[in-house]
Amino acid sequence: MMILGTGIDIIDCKRIRKINKNKRFKTKIFTEKEIKKCLKTKNENNCFAKKYAAKEAFSKAVGTGFSGGLTHNEVEILNTQSGKPEIKVYGKSLKILFKKFKTRKFNIFLSISDEKSYAIAQVLITK
């Protein structure tokens, strides 16, 4: 296994609580599926914070950040049936991955955690 990139991000959940009141922020950053999922949870702000941290950790693992062409709502944080978090990448963001890593075959590993005030995510991209 070859490591192509790794990234980590931590966010204060209070920060997400404040900016999450702006509906435009939600639709710019999160997909419809992500929004629906978080709105159904007991603590929606922590849910959004975990997804945001995962997206940021992913952009760091790619090595471009979001200023390098990745789009927040083309990077989707979902869960398998067993609850394991996973990242799905679409559109232009997926093309950036293919170009950056010079392959169409890679694995993305994601770990997310939160505590009352903070959410943290780590991403590992391998070939």
Domain borders along the chain are 3-126
Residue 52 and residue 30: Cα distance in Å, rounded? 8
Class (C level, CATH) for 3-126: alpha beta
- pLDDT, tens digit, for every residue of 100-118? 998 889 999 999 999 989 9
- pLDDT, tens digit, for every residue of 28-58? 999 999 999 999 999 999 999 999 999 999 9
Which pTM value belongs to this model?
0.94
Question: Angle 32-39/44-62 helices, nearest 10 degrees?
Answer: 150
